[in-house]
Amino acid sequence: MKSFNQIIKNGGVAVIRTDTLYGIVCDAFNQHAVERIYHIKNRNPLKPVIVLVADYKQIALFGVSLSEEVKEMLSKYWPGKVSVILPASDTTVNTHYIHKGTGGIAFRIPDDEYLQKRLIETGPLVAPSANPEGKPPARSVNEAIDYFGDKVDYYEDKGTIQDIQPSKIIKISNTVDIEIIRD
């Protein structure tokens, strides 16, 4: 049986517990795998996804540059359960398949040691909730299996989530203004 890291590196899709809920994840730089998640979830093709990253260096891989002022502001939220939409440009790296034309990518640096270690090993992961569009997020791996069956390459059971709380989403513009998207 292949490991989580092998599956992700080979373009696979997995269901794992994130810092907020169970997510269906893949390598954020593998456009085919990201599109596969959209298909598996029956997700609105215009709806962007959240990207989990280990640190600011991984954000830079997406062609997003952060001023010291923005990094200082982000330190109030990260690591933590807040996803932050940052301005993205497709001039250096193609990220359109992630931001879907919105011009911004939602990143989160989780406050979870186990997940942090994984992100260092695999690199950034696209991580929408583990549920088909319009259904409640999976509270357990068994619920995720009921949703997706063998369409997903790897499931990791980390217990049942009692209180499902998706991440808060905020948007930061170049002028360091904050807009709350999801509280």
Q: In this predicted model, what pLDDT tens digit does every residue of 13-58 receive, in sequence order?
A: 999 999 999 999 999 999 999 999 999 999 999 999 999 999 999 9
At 88 the pLDDT is 84
Task: Measure the CA dihedral 59/61/62/68, to 10°.
Answer: 40
Average pLDDT over residues 140-148: 97
- Average pLDDT of span 145-153: 98
- Mean pLDDT value of segment 5-13: 97
Run of H or E including 117: helix 113-122
Which domains does the chain possess? 4-182 (3.90.870.10)
Rounded Cα–Cα distance for residues 79 and 102 (Å): 24
Distance between CA atoms of residues 31 and 29, nearest Å: 6
Euclidean distance between the first and the last CA atom of the chain, given in angstroms as a whole number: 40
For 102, the 3-state DSSP assignment is: coil
Q: What is the pTM of this model?
A: 0.94
Residue 6 has pLDDT above 90, yes or no: yes
Q: Answer yes or no: is pLDDT of 133 > 90.
A: yes
Which residues lie below 8 Å from residue 75, measured CB to CB, with a gap of 6+? none
Q: Side by side, which strands form the sheet with 178-182?
A: 154-155, 14-17, 22-27, 125-126, 50-52, 104-108, 82-87, 168-172, 178-182
| Residue-wise pLDDT tens digits, 68-127 | 888 998 999 999 999 999 988 766 678 889 999 888 999 999 999 999 999 999 999 999
Confidence of residue 173 (pLDDT cuts 50, 70, 90): confident
Question: Residue 126: its pLDDT value, please?
Answer: 98
Radius of gyration for the alpha carbons in the chain, expressed in angstroms and rounded: 15
